[in-house]
Structure 1
Amino acid sequence: MKRPMFYLAAPSLLFLLLLLGMAGPAAAQHSLSIPLTEFSIVGKPLLQGKAADFRVSVPIPRRWDVASASLRFPYVNSTGLLGKRSRLIVRFNDQVLAQIELLPESPEGVVTVPIPTTLLKPRFNELQFAVAQDYDDQCTDPGNPILWTHVSVERAILEVDYALKPLPMALSSIADFLFDPKQFNENSVHLVVPEYSPEMLNLAAIAASGVALRFEFRPVTFTLSQDLRQGVDNILLGDTAFAADVLQQYERRAPEGDFGIMPLPGPAPAMPKDEDASGQTDRERFVDDPTRAVILLSGANMQAVRLSSEAFSLLSFPLPDVSSTDPASVVIPNITQEMGKSLVVPGHKYTFAQLGMASRTFTDMYPIPENLTIRLPSDTLLPGNLFAKLAVHLAYGAKMREDSVVNIHLNGRFIAGVPLGNPAGGRYGGYQIHIPMYYFRPGQNTFTFEPVLSPLVTDHCTFIQLKNLFVTVFDDSMLSFPKLDYWTEMPDLALFVEDGFPLTKWPDWRETAIILPPDDPHSAAAAVNIVAMISQKTGIPPYQLRFLNEPPQEALDILVVAPYPAISPDILRATPMAPRTSYPWQGALQGTRDQSLYWWNRILADIFPERPRSVSLPSVHGEALEQLVMDTDKLLLTQSLSPYAAMRTLMVATARSPEALLRGAYALQDPFLQGQAQGNVVLADLKDLEFGVRSQQSGDRYFVGDLGTFSWFTYLVNTYPVWFFGTILVILALTALVARRLLRARMRAKEQQ
């Protein structure tokens, strides 16, 4: 009797499965459901007029092998549309995926659109929503307000199923494959360190910042321990002996060089219980995960480990194509206070190309606006009598109506319009716009260029020509700033979440110390996450940051990262929350003068009631002597004047436990928390960051910065002209009176002689 084919094939299948298990873990499938609001949206989801569109930039990283993708979105259209002549079109990389008839009798709908994987390129892909809308069979006014369709991007979901591709085991893959900002999943990296000493944490912060810089704007979280972690990329930091010990546990050897990359080793998949494991060798206990990497930053001593860490932080080009190397030397440019990502320096001029904006041609009646983002130093003093100058180089087409214009906004506020009034077309070599400096704000500022282009002929039932509506803003347009002083009021946690100020007054953190409890991996990981987040904003790793377990002896800004039971009483007494908790007094406007000031301060306060000064400004607040108690889902941030050095800042990040503190450090990257952080106290509910963030300003204020004598004089003249010139007149009158009396006394003396 012949055996069934199944029984004959079973041993072969079992052997094949065993070989696959020995070769390594199968590539895991991942599924993501991401709202479209997580991506960059250009244009308005409310599509108005006869024809309109908006676009969404969808990133696909090289590291992903996408199996399937689909888009699900709801929409609402006007009930005044003519269904047979109104369509919503969905395109992906210029390929039409779907068209939806916009019917007035059913104005709401939900659409699911599959996206062919062949269209998903390893770059930023363009998803476009466009409408063609009519309300009449005859003539349609293209600007009629009845023509509209709204795509609800808040409820639109992009679903992606993917697996990770095997990594190229070359250092060149670090720059553009491993840590890619196009990865919009939750990115996490594990740091393996031999100890939690201050010196080792400094190297961990440099390595973590190098990762964060490669992710550019994408959040990334970090964990710390003394062993490898499965399922994520690892960075192994330490001398060669420590690296060898860690890898020996997985029966692996380190790469030959101090700076290298290798696949992540881990335990082999367990065999089924009903299988005979007696034939399994010792070598089969561990297998490599080719989709995850271990980056080795090692050396014979700590100086060599620092060299490898700094080399890793600088690597931004896909070279070298080797698995390991020995960095001979690392040259870091001379870092100044005027360096940083998108940072403009007062007293300099920049072209749009230098600021990251290429020449842009706008077409159609309501083209998608263009943004230009810059960053001013957070401690910039913005006076009302100085102006930035914007010189716009543009050209526009002929046969446009004279009310065509390019509107320019700064931080959402209209500041100027460039008229395009010549029907024959024209060009501006440098249309100058003077912008008062107080229109700007410290930190990030965004210019928006929004053309409104009108056809020359728009009569009813007349062909409306739209193909001649052109305006180009060229990238050699200039933006220049006057010289400014650096002087700002503190405390202000909004400046910290903007770019780390005042801790990053020097972007390499050279005048900052972080105080941690000793041998606390969670607090150490929280500090590393905070530093990496800020370095991603400034664009410079913390090469000169100091980690300490005690307050510094020299004059430094201080960040304390610790659970509040581990914070010293001296530090707690300097905060506005413990042991006496301060509350703003609602019965008086903040800044009301305190009559308990010394008499000479009261006189100066009457002359210059809002003058900046280097002593604390009083504010009206109440205090309650109470124990600081928080639950395990709260993060507390405070800022105050440091008790250890004049004109220095003490900042505290704390929670009830080390684990809660680490969760709070992760939450600091959330836009909801950053957008609501202000004042000198922030309390965040980690379970509800959208509505659970509370900020307040209580306690004393102070100023940081440097105003020279002449700058002080200019500041007082321009800010308080009435008081200044009034004081000058009083001084002149008193001088004249004294001179008159002296002259009369001298004349009397001569008469008596």
Structure 2
Amino acid sequence: MKRPVFYLATPCLVLMLLLGTAVHATAQHSLSIPLTEFSIVGKPLLQGKAADFRVSIPTPQRWNVTSANLRFPYVNSTGLLGDRSRLIVRFNDQVLAQVELLPESPEGLVTVPIPTTLLKPRFNELQFAVAQDYDGQCTDPGNPTLWTHVSVERAFLDVSYTLKPVPMFLSSIADFLFDPKQFNENRVHLVVPDYSPEMMNLASIAASGTSLRFEFRQVKFTLSQDLRQGMDNILIGDKLFVAGVLDQYERTPPQNDFGIMPLPGPAPVMPEDENNQEQTELRRFVDDHTRAIIVLSGEDINGVTSSTKAFSVLSFPLPDISSSDPGSVIIPEITRETGKNLITPGQKYTLDQLGMPSHTFTDMYPIPENMTVRLPSDALLPGNLFARLALHLAYGTQMRQDSVINIHLNGRFIAGVPLSNPQGGRYGGYQIHIPMYYFRPGLNTFTFEPVLTPLITDLCTFIQLKNLFVTIFDDSTLSFPELDHWVEMPELALFMEDGFPFTSWPDWRENAIVVPPNDPLSSAAAVNIVAMTSQKTGIAPYRVQFLNEPPQQPLDILVVSPYPDISPQIMQATPMAPRLAYPWQGVLQGSKEQSLYWWNRIMADIFPERPRSVPQPSVHAEAIEELVMNSDKLLLTQSLSPYAPMRTLMVATARSPEALLQGANAMSNPLLQGQARGSVVLADITDLEFGVRSQHAGERYFVGDLGSFRWFTYIVNTYPFWFFGTLMVILTLTAFVIRRLLRTRLKAKEQE
């Protein structure tokens, strides 16, 4: 007798639903991450009697870490005493391991299990410390024999984890979903009703809002018209579209326009009953509670825009509710000087405002402290203007007179502050004047590196180290002079720095992004590029403008398209134009020798001259097209726009939409960003370490805004021979005219 299908199917359905939920909840993920991917404070070469360095290890709140192991190799000096020298590994101040530093086996490979109970949902501190000795008696703490090197380049952190269920509150977007402590590959899928320019504008704002919440972590975005499993989704569109997408999965939209919900997906198919030949396959949907959908909707395009902008704004915390109606969203005023860590010329800042709180250094060789500021990419940095650093600091007593704080800018020594009073001292405003040409456009890093020496360092004498203190207070100031905006283009290094010239207004006004119509992969590539630059500036592209054809207005233009789809008019204006001269690879680009005559030195003081390249032999190249079309290479070009003066045309292209999307994701890789410069970059997507080639080709031009006197200075510096030649001609003609007038007047008087 056949059993009823109902009784057979019901337990299977229950089991299927339970298994479907369990599969998502218990999926195991494993990562092996090099320590160089994390923030390292200090030097892995541990020198002296005692030294240490630290690594900041993030643990996301979203992860349930099941196991963690640290693997690292090391090399120690063969002059150490093994029974008195140790390498200690600490995690959040808990000692995990200690290793004898034996001279007879100076190399080793260590594996250290990290208890998961020590992994807190924050940035955890991993510390490598050494205690080193070489004679067992009177050890000189600075003896060069005392060293141990931890090879962080070959050290790895192995982590296994599962994902926790996502709290279905809007507040979880910032501190749970898009958490910068997630150091795995972060992917987010954007669901849109179509690939029209209007929807791409909103997709780029949503993607930028996501990247901003991830802060410095790369995020890879994809685009389609349906949900994608295995990642978080952002559903953008009016209520009719959102309801249609969710109805396919038997789900209803959130109550309000801006909401969060679990990601639905197909459940496992119930197995057929061999005894029931008439049974049909039953298919249902289950929620993946470890993934989420963020819904950005509205009655019309204006409502969708409001929800998208509300999602992208970081200035207020999101509420502990599952959905909300954002209403109207007012974006604060955005100026050219608005941006993350961006310096406004002519302003003074305290170190606290620049992200460096008061800091006390101790011991002989304390870990240096860094401070990063960002100058506008188009800032003109002349040699006759100075930034001023005014340090407020105090230092301890009984230190030797050669104690000092060394100050570096971008890795170059610029000044030293003497700590020479054995009675201790304090500086209320120690002035350091820094020529502006020491800086560079974009990010600049100050490094404060004290060297503190005890007063008594005799052999076999107790050396007191506990009095070695120096504090730099956060009310110290850094001020900048007024600067003009003027920069030589094309220069792709500036785009990699912070998106310049497209982010000269950080909300992407006065720009246009041209993509092929109805091409989801090329559109996704453009969205990834915009999100990458917004992450650098700290501002979402609220006024971005996507188009399918080049604009006729005076705008900077970014073309993101497969190579075969680029119009001939665009191609003719790029360095890909036929018969364009390319410099010979490896030819040195020198600068013209400066004369040492006294009048040249005076003119150099009045008009500080910028180096001018010496013209070099060139070769005509027409082979780049073949390289792009026959391999997975990304081509980036910059040139003067054919549609308006002082405007830039940039092209990002590859042989296919798939390769273009891969190339756009590769643009976030530091290996590519560090090598990109000039007007042409050809990058092998599969080998960014050795496969990036940069070149200057085509005409140079300038963008920016100079005052009248600065224009005069620029003309003298850039075209000195033409300027002084023209001036001599004018003076000669003036003298000739005056002479003729005087002679005419003199003859007239003689005739009288």
> TM-score, normalised to structure 2's length?
0.92
Q: What displacement does 1:716 show?
A: 5.3
Counterpart for residue 106 of structure 2: 107
Contact 1:179 1:215 in 2 (8 A): yes
| Structure 1 Cα separation of the partners of residues 643 and 279 of structure 2 | 63
Superposed, 1:351-750 pairs within 5 Å as 351-580=350-579, 582-585=581-584, 621-625=618-622, 628-629=625-626, 630=628, 631-715=630-714, 739=738, 742-743=741-742, 745-750=744-749
CA drift at 1:678 = 0.3
Tell me, yes or no, if the aligned pair for 1:77 and 1:107 is still in contact at 8 Å. Answer: yes
User: In the superposition, relative to structure 1, how do residues 13 and 142 fare at CA in structure 2: closer, same or farther (>3 Å)?
Assistant: farther
* Counterpart-to-counterpart distance in 2, 1:723 and 1:467: 65
Task: Give 1:746 deviation, angstroms.
Answer: 3.2
State the shift of 1:198 in Å: 0.2
Q: Please state how far the C-alpha of 1:175 moved relative to its aligned partner.
A: 1.4
Q: CA contact under 8 A between 1:590 and 1:620: conserved in structure 2? A: no
Deviation of residue 712 (structure 1)? 1.6
Q: Does 1:142 align with 2:141?
A: yes
Letter of the structure 1 residue corresponding to residue 287 of structure 2: D
Structure 1 contact 375–445 (Cα < 8 Å) conserved? yes
Task: Give 1:59's aligned residue.
Answer: 58
Amino acid at match of 1:415: I
Partner residue, 2:227: 228
From the superposition, tell whether residues 249 and 723 of structure 1 become closer, same or farther in structure 2 (CA, over 3 Å).
closer
Cα offsets for 1:551-604 (capped at 9, x unmatched): 1021101011010101101111111124445421469766999xxxxxxxxxxx
**Does the 8 Å contact 1:490/1:704 carry over to 2?**
yes
- The one-letter amino acid of 1:623's match is H
What does the per-residue CA deviation read over 1:395-420, in whole Å, with 9 as the maximum and x for residues that have no partner? 10010001000000000000000000
- Secondary structure of the structure 2 residue equivalent to 1:154: helix
Q: 1:322 is matched with which residue? A: 321
- Write the deviation string for residues 626-672 of structure 1: whole angstroms up to 9, x where unpaired: 68222341110000111111111110000000000000011111100
**In structure 1, distance between residues paired with 2:455 and 2:509:** 60
Shift of the alpha carbon at 1:609? 14
Residue 274 of structure 1 deviates from its aligned partner by: 6.4
Secondary structure at the residue paired with 1:676? coil
Comparing 743-752 with 36-45, greater Cα deviation is found at 743-752
Deviation at 1:715, TM superposition (A): 4.2
In structure 2, C-alpha distance between the alignment counterparts of 1:534 and 1:50, rounded to whole Å: 45
Post-superposition shift, 1:751? Answer: 3.5
Q: Is the 8 A contact 2:383 2:608 kept in 1?
A: no
The one-letter code matched in structure 1 to 2:517 is: P
2:184 corresponds to: 185
- The Cα offsets for residues 200-221 of structure 1, whole Å up to 9 and x where unpaired, read as 0000000000000000001110
User: Unaligned stretches of 5+ in structure 1?
Assistant: 1-10, 594-607
Aligned to 1:20: 18
Go from structure 1 to structure 2 and tell me whether the alpha carbon gap of 1:107 and 1:550 turns closer, same or farther (over 3 Å shift): same
Give secondary structure in 2 for the equivalent of 1:664. Answer: helix
Query: Distance between the aligned counterparts of 2:358 and 2:21, measured in 1?
Result: 52
- Corresponding residue number in structure 2 for 1:218: 217
CA-CA distance at 1:316 after TM superposition: 5.2
**Measured at CA, do residues 275 and 677 of structure 1 come closer, stay the same or move farther in structure 2, by a change above 3 Å?**
farther
Residue number in structure 1 paired with 2:601: none
d(CA) in 2 for partners of 1:489 and 1:14? 70
**Structure 2 counterpart of 1:687, which letter?**
T
State the one-letter code of the partner of 1:622.
V
Deviations 1:329-380 (A, max 9, x none): 1010111111111100111111111111111100000000011101100011
Change (3 A) 1:715 1:627: closer
Q: CA deviation at 1:290?
A: 0.6
Shift in Å, 1:718: 7.6
Residues of 2 paired with 1:609 and 1:457: CA distance? 48
| Distance across 1 between alignment mates of 2:550 and 2:729 | 49
Structure 2 counterpart of 1:3:
none
Distance between the aligned counterparts of 1:279 and 1:144, measured in 2?
A: 86
Q: Which residue of 2 aligns with 1:118?
A: 117
Tell me by how many angstroms 1:21 deviates.
2.1
Partner secondary structure for residue 749 of structure 1: helix
The aligned residue for residue 333 of structure 1 is: 332
Matched, 1:85 2:84: yes
Partner of 2:127: 128
Tell me the alpha carbon deviations over residues 443-494 of structure 1, each in whole angstroms, 9 at most, x when there is no partner: 1100000000000000001000000000001111111111011110000000
Distance between the aligned counterparts of 1:72 and 1:477, measured in 2?
A: 41
- Equivalent position of 1:349 in the other structure: 348
Q: Pick closer, same or farther for the CA change 1:586–1:168 going to 2, 3 Å.
A: closer
Q: Using the alignment, how far apart are the partners of 1:591 and 1:104 within structure 2? A: 50
Shift in alpha-carbon separation, 1:738–1:193, aligned structure 2, 3 A = same
Aligned counterparts, 1:26-65, within 5 A = 26-65=25-64
- Distance change >3 Å, CA 619–CA 248, structure 1 → 2: farther
Give the TM-score, by structure 1 length: 0.92
- Residue in 2 that maps onto 1:263: 262
- Change beyond 3 A, Cα 1:12–1:87: farther
Residue equivalent to 1:605: none
Question: 2 CA distance for matches of 1:738 and 1:193?
Answer: 73
Deviation string 1:140-178 (CA, Å, 9 cap, x unpaired) is 110010100000000101011111111110001111111
**1:154/1:485 CA distance change after superposition, 3 Å:** same
SS in structure 1 of the partner of residue 521 of structure 2: helix
Query: Which deviates more, 476-485 or 704-713?
Result: 704-713
Answer yes or no: is the 8 Å Cα contact 2:72–2:152 preserved in 1: yes
Q: Secondary structure at the match of 1:113?
A: strand
CA contact (8 A) 2:272 2:281 kept: no
Check whether the contact 2:16–2:268 (CA below 8 A) recurs between aligned residues.
no
CA distance in 1, matches of 2:364, 2:412: 21
Q: Is the 8 A contact 1:44 1:54 kept in 2?
A: yes
SS in 1 for 2:26: coil
Q: Which amino acid aligns with 1:358?
A: P
CA separation in 1, counterparts of 2:425 and 2:609?
49
1:691-732 deviation per Cα after TM superposition (whole angstroms, max 9, x unaligned): 000000011111111112222234456889999789878877
Equivalence for 2:251: 252
Higher mean alpha-carbon deviation, 714-723 vs 689-698, is at 714-723
Deviation at 1:293, TM superposition (A): 0.4
Distance 1:303 1:166 in 2: 33
Aligned to 1:604: none
3-state SS of 1:636 partner: strand
Distance in structure 1 (CA, Å) of the matches to 2:277 and 2:326: 46
Structure 1 letter corresponding to 2:84: R
**Whole-Å Cα distance in 2 between the matches of residues 467 and 640 of structure 1?**
59
> How far apart in 2 are the matches of 1:27 and 1:681?
47
Aligned length: 727
How far off its partner does 1:328 sit?
Answer: 1.5
Tell me how far apart the structure 2 counterparts of residues 323 and 315 of structure 1 sit (CA, whole Å): 18
Alpha-carbon separation, structure 2, partners of 1:391 and 1:276: 87
Asked if the contact 2:80–2:134 (Cα under 8 Å) also holds between the matched residues in 1, the reply is yes
User: Structure 1: which amino acid aligns with 2:253?
Assistant: A
732 and 61 in structure 1: CA distance in 2 versus 1, 3 angstrom threshold: same
Q: Which amino acid aligns with 1:314?
A: V
RMSD: 2.9
**CA contact 2:382–2:608 (8 Å) conserved in 1:** no
In structure 1, the residue matched to 2:598 is none
* Distance in structure 1 (CA, Å) of the matches to 2:749 and 2:396: 86
The amino acid that maps onto 1:397 is G
Residue 270 (structure 1) shift:
2.8
